[in-house]
Amino acid sequence: MAKAAEEAVTAARDQVNVGIAGLIGLLLTLVISAVSVIAASKAVRAANSQVRAYLSVEPTILRHLEAGEVPTIDLKITNSGASPAYRVRHVAMLDLLQHPLVNEQGPLIIPGDDLMPKVTLSPKSWFVSTVVKESALTKEEIAKLFRNEDYRLYVAGTVFYRDVFKKEHSTMFCFFLGAPEIMSASKRLGGRLIEAHWSLSHVHNDAD
């Protein structure tokens, strides 16, 4: 009887070991499957990132920078990606602000539901949109810009678009221009500045 009992215990132990081995094998299979899924997902994202649209913003021509005039700035919005950007729309502002912006600066402009334009931008193509200051420049603002180192002219906003994979993206931008850059602009004609050097702000510049 003792031998029979010992054989029964051994058989039970073997069954337990087989069960543990099977469980370990199942867990390894699940881990390998999960790793494979993650790797495949990363590969898809990497492939998508190579062919999706990428939009960038560049300030170009600043006009009417005179007291009593309403300044405007042309923004060049470019698709540097390999596929079209759909439903491209944006919101932007142009204003004289204290410089530099604080690190905890809140939103400079809040987008609404009526963003314009809504266009399709082909790969390697661009379009120009004009941003207008909400009010005319006053003599006091001109004095702040040219005589006070604590103020700069800022243009900021966000471009929204949808890529070929129907995923929404945004590009936040924020540039500033000071008196030294204005005075050193390569060309100036009346209230127009051409090729003035706009600097990137340390906040409100991000893209996904």
Domain ranges for the chain, please list them.
Answer: 1-51, 55-207
| Per-residue model confidence (pLDDT) at position 40 | 43
Write the pLDDT tens digit of every residue in 123-151: 999 999 999 999 999 999 999 999 888 99
Nearest CA to 154 among 88, 64, 71, 78? 71
**Does domain 55-207 fall into CATH 2.60.40?**
yes
- Write the burial class of residue 79 (CB in 10 Å: 0-12 exposed, 13-18 middle, 19+ buried): buried
**What token pair was written down for 17?**
């070991």
Write the pLDDT tens digit of every residue in 32-89: 765 555 544 544 444 455 789 999 999 999 999 889 999 999 999 999 999 999 999 9
Rounded Cα distance between 164 and 128, Å, is 22
Rounded Cα distance between 182 and 146, Å, is 9
Kindly report the length of the chain: 208
Rounded Cα distance between 98 and 77, Å, is 26
Residue 187: its H or E element: strand 187-189
Q: Do 115 and 89 form a contact (C-beta atoms < 8 A)?
A: yes
One-letter amino acid for residue 94 of the chain: L
